[in-house]
């Protein structure tokens, strides 16, 4: 499958999203891995290490927990594919840093529109469960839903992963 200009890869936790997104770019010869995760605890450090160990020589890693729109603009005239993994961790980082979410989403949307090379973005779908019992969790779910809608609107292709099986929701 050829890379679309903008591809959104979505699914639940441990659905195979990252590996699928990585394979898309590896099949195109490699690219830039724009990593948003921060190791705030030992479990997250292990997750990050697992992702890092899975990557081979086809990747140039760029770690950016907050300013992904700025970083995408740096790559905007480059034809090298970019993988953003993951938007929901980026959203968590923004909330923890008390950033304006709507402004950040608008900046991301503008950066995606400016990119000339392919961009693959990974995001979790978190709004299919019960309504969270605390305000911060509800805010996160609401913001994630809005974020996913903004990126899906901009995307040429949207792929849903369940148990490692991709389903095309938008595009060819």
Comparing 3-12, 37-46, 99-108, 137-146, the range with the smallest average pLDDT is: 37-46
Residue 36 CA to residue 64 CA, distance in Å, equals 5
Residues whose CB falls within 8 Å of the CB of residue 50, separated by 6 or more in sequence, listed in order: none
Comparing 34-43, 93-102, 126-135, 155-164, the range with the smallest average pLDDT is: 34-43
> CB of 114 within 8 A of CB of 166?
no
Residue with the bigger pLDDT between 78 and 144: it is 144
What is the distance in angstroms between the CA of the first residue and the CA of the last residue of the chain?
9
- What would be the CATH architecture of the domain defined by 6-170? 3-Layer(aba) Sandwich (3.40)
CA dist 91 to 49, 136, 142, Å?
Answer: 21, 12, 11
Residue with the bigger pLDDT between 27 and 1: it is 27
Task: Enumerate the domain spans of the chain.
Answer: 6-170
Confidence of residue 17 (pLDDT cuts 50, 70, 90): very high
What is the structure's pLDDT at 90?
97
**Spatial CA neighbour of 5 closest among 95, 164, 118:** 118
Residues whose CB falls within 8 Å of the CB of residue 136, separated by 6 or more in sequence, listed in order: 95
Residue 65 CA to residue 125 CA, distance in Å, equals 19
> CB of 25 within 8 A of CB of 120?
yes
pLDDT in tens, 105-164: 999 999 999 988 899 999 999 988 888 899 999 999 999 999 999 999 999 999 999 999
Is 0.85 surpassed by the pTM of this model? yes
> CB of 123 within 8 A of CB of 149?
no
Active site (catalytic) residues: 51
């Amino acid at each position: 499958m050829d890379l679309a200009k903008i591809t959104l890869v979505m699914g639940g936790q441990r659905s195979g999203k990252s590996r699928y997104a990585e394979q898309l770019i590896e099949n195109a010869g490699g690219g830039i891995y724009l990593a948003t995760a921060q190791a705030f605890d030992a479990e997250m450090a292990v997750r990050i290490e697992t992702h890092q160990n899975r990557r081979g020589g086809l990747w140039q890693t760029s770690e950016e927990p907050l300013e992904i729109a700025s970083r995408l603009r740096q790559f905007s005239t480059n034809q090298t594919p970019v993988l953003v993994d993951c938007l929901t961790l980026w959203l968590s980082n923004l909330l923890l840093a008390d950033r304006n979410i709507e402004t950040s989403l608008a900046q991301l949307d503008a950066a995606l529109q400016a990119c000339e090379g392919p961009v693959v973005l990974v995001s979790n779908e978190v709004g299919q469960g019960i309504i969270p019992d605390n305000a911060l969790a509800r805010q996160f779910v609401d913001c994630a839903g809005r974020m996913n809608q903004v990126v899906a609107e901009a995307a040429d292709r949207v792929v849903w992963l369940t148990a490692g099986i991709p389903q095309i929701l938008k595009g060819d």
